Structure 1
Amino acid sequence: MAQSVTVTSLSFSWPDGTPVFDGLDVSFGPGRTGLVGVNGSGKSTLLKLIAGELAPADGAVRIAGEAGYLPQNVTLDTAVRVDEALGIAARRAALHAIEAGDAAEEHFETVGDDWDVEERALATLGELGLGHLGLDRTVGEVSGGESVLLRLAALLLARPDVLLLDEPTNNLDLYARRRLYAAVESWPGLMIVVSHDRELLERVDRIADLHAGSITWYGGNYSAYEQALAAEQEAAERMVRVAEADLRKQKRELTDARVKLARRKRYGQKMWDSKREPKIVMGARKRAAQESAGKHRILHEEKLAEARERLDEAVEAVRDDDEIRVDLPYTAVPPGRTVLTLRDLEPAYGTRVAGGLDLHGPERVALIGRNGTGKTTLLRTIAGELEPVSGEVVAHVPLRFLPQRLDVLDDRLTVAENVARFAPDATGNRIRARLARFLFRGARADRAAGTLSGGERFRATLAALMLAEPAPQLLMLDEPTNNLDMASVRQLVTALESYEGALIVASHDLPFLESIGITRWLLLDGELREITPGAVGFPA
Structure 2
Amino acid sequence: MSPSLTCTSLSFAWPDGTPVLGGLDAAFAAGRTGLVGVNGSGKSTLLKLLAGDLTPSAGTVRVTGEIGYLPQNVTLDTALRVDEALGIAARRAALHAIEAGDASEEHFEAVGDDWDVEERAVATLGELGLGRIGLDRTVGEVSGGESVLLRLAALLLRRPDALLLDEPTNNLDLYARRRLYAAVASWPGVLVVVSHDRELLGLVDQIADLRAGRITWYGGDFTAYEAALAAEQEAAERMVRVAEADVRKQRRELADAQVKLARRKRYGQKMFEQKREPKIVMGARRRAAQESAGKHRILHEERLSEARERLDEAAEAVRDDDEIRVDLPYTAVPPGRDVLTLRNLELRYGARIGGLDVRGAERIALVGRNGAGKTTLLRTVAGELAPVAGEATAHVPLRFLPQRLDVLAGGLTVAENVARFAPDATGNRIRARLARFLFRGARADRKAATLSGGERFRAALAALMLAEPAPQLLMLDEPTNNLDMASVRQLTTALESYEGALLVASHDLPFLKSAGITRWLLLEDGELKETTPEAVGDPV
Under a length normalisation based on structure 1, what TM-score does the superposition of the two structures give?
A: 0.93
> Which string of whole-angstrom CA distances, capped at 9 and with x for unpartnered residues, describes residues 42-88 of structure 1?
21222122223333333332222221211222233222211122222
The DSSP-based 3-state class of the residue aligned with 1:367 is strand
Name whichever of 321-330 and 83-92 sits farther off. 321-330
Measured after TM superposition, the shift of residue 327 of structure 1 is: 5.4
For 1:49, the equivalent position in structure 2 comes to 49
Does structure 2 retain, via aligned residues, the 8 Å contact 1:330–1:499?
no
> Which string of whole-angstrom CA distances, capped at 9 and with x for unpartnered residues, describes residues 91-114 of structure 1?
211211121122222222222222
Distance 1:155 1:449 in 2: 34
How does 1:36-435 map onto structure 2 within 5 Å?
36-325=36-325, 328=328, 330-353=330-353, 355-435=354-434
Does structure 2 retain, via aligned residues, the 8 Å contact 1:4–1:27?
yes
**What letter is aligned with 2:131?**
G
**What letter is aligned with 1:64?**
T
**What letter is aligned with 2:373?**
G
> Which string of whole-angstrom CA distances, capped at 9 and with x for unpartnered residues, describes residues 503-538 of structure 1?
111112222222222222111221211124446997
Distance 1:276 1:286 in 2: 14
Measured after TM superposition, the shift of residue 137 of structure 1 is: 1.0
**What letter is aligned with 1:121?**
A
Name whichever of 179-188 and 23-32 sits farther off. 23-32
Distance 2:12 2:440 in 1: 21
Does structure 2 retain, via aligned residues, the 8 Å contact 1:328–1:495?
no
Measured after TM superposition, the shift of residue 408 of structure 1 is: 3.5
> 1:378–1:24: structure 2 CA closer, same or farther, 3 Å change rule?
same
For 1:20, the equivalent position in structure 2 comes to 20
Distance 2:59 2:399 in 1: 44
Does structure 2 retain, via aligned residues, the 8 Å contact 1:350–1:373?
no
> Which string of whole-angstrom CA distances, capped at 9 and with x for unpartnered residues, describes residues 417-452 of structure 1?
544444445555444444443334455445454443
Distance 1:437 1:400 in 2: 20
> 1:8–1:416: structure 2 CA closer, same or farther, 3 Å change rule?
farther
For 1:34, the equivalent position in structure 2 comes to 34
> Which string of whole-angstrom CA distances, capped at 9 and with x for unpartnered residues, describes residues 481-503 of structure 1?
22222222222222223322221
> 1:456–1:155: structure 2 CA closer, same or farther, 3 Å change rule?
farther
**What letter is aligned with 2:21?**
F
Distance 1:52 1:514 in 2: 39
Measured after TM superposition, the shift of residue 164 of structure 1 is: 1.0
For 1:493, the equivalent position in structure 2 comes to 492
**What letter is aligned with 1:93?**
A
The DSSP-based 3-state class of the residue aligned with 1:359 is strand
> 1:14–1:425: structure 2 CA closer, same or farther, 3 Å change rule?
farther
Measured after TM superposition, the shift of residue 270 of structure 1 is: 2.4
The DSSP-based 3-state class of the residue aligned with 2:331 is coil
Distance 2:235 2:379 in 1: 49
The DSSP-based 3-state class of the residue aligned with 1:234 is helix
> Which string of whole-angstrom CA distances, capped at 9 and with x for unpartnered residues, describes residues 158-197 of structure 1?
2212211111111222222121111111111111111111
For 2:10, the equivalent position in structure 1 comes to 10
Distance 2:300 2:532 in 1: 70
Distance 2:149 2:163 in 1: 14
For 2:501, the equivalent position in structure 1 comes to 502
Does structure 1 retain, via aligned residues, the 8 Å contact 2:324–2:493?
no
Distance 2:428 2:74 in 1: 36
**What letter is aligned with 1:383?**
A
**What letter is aligned with 2:186?**
S
**What letter is aligned with 2:248?**
R
Distance 2:258 2:535 in 1: 77
Does structure 2 retain, via aligned residues, the 8 Å contact 1:254–1:301?
yes
Distance 2:470 2:386 in 1: 24
Distance 1:212 1:326 in 2: 28
**What letter is aligned with 2:67?**
A
The DSSP-based 3-state class of the residue aligned with 1:59 is strand
> 1:197–1:442: structure 2 CA closer, same or farther, 3 Å change rule?
same
Identity across the alignment (%): 84
**What letter is aligned with 2:251?**
K
Distance 2:250 2:537 in 1: 67
The DSSP-based 3-state class of the residue aligned with 2:330 is coil
Gap runs ≥5 in structure 2: none
Distance 2:532 2:116 in 1: 45
For 2:524, the equivalent position in structure 1 comes to 525
> 1:284–1:334: structure 2 CA closer, same or farther, 3 Å change rule?
closer
Aligned residues: 539
Does structure 1 retain, via aligned residues, the 8 Å contact 2:326–2:433?
no
Distance 1:185 1:103 in 2: 41
> 1:322–1:499: structure 2 CA closer, same or farther, 3 Å change rule?
closer
Distance 1:457 1:104 in 2: 56
Does structure 2 retain, via aligned residues, the 8 Å contact 1:507–1:513?
yes
Does structure 1 retain, via aligned residues, the 8 Å contact 2:479–2:506?
yes
Name whichever of 466-475 and 198-207 sits farther off. 466-475
Distance 2:213 2:197 in 1: 22
Name whichever of 403-412 and 474-483 sits farther off. 403-412
For 1:462, the equivalent position in structure 2 comes to 461
Name whichever of 465-474 and 205-214 sits farther off. 465-474
Distance 1:105 1:329 in 2: 76
The DSSP-based 3-state class of the residue aligned with 2:349 is coil
Measured after TM superposition, the shift of residue 117 of structure 1 is: 1.3
> 1:394–1:70: structure 2 CA closer, same or farther, 3 Å change rule?
same
Distance 1:144 1:508 in 2: 14
Distance 2:274 2:299 in 1: 32
Distance 2:413 2:61 in 1: 31
Under a length normalisation based on structure 2, what TM-score does the superposition of the two structures give?
A: 0.93
**What letter is aligned with 1:207?**
I
> 1:241–1:443: structure 2 CA closer, same or farther, 3 Å change rule?
closer
> 1:46–1:325: structure 2 CA closer, same or farther, 3 Å change rule?
farther
For 1:514, the equivalent position in structure 2 comes to 513
The DSSP-based 3-state class of the residue aligned with 2:33 is strand
> 1:480–1:328: structure 2 CA closer, same or farther, 3 Å change rule?
farther
Distance 2:72 2:107 in 1: 35
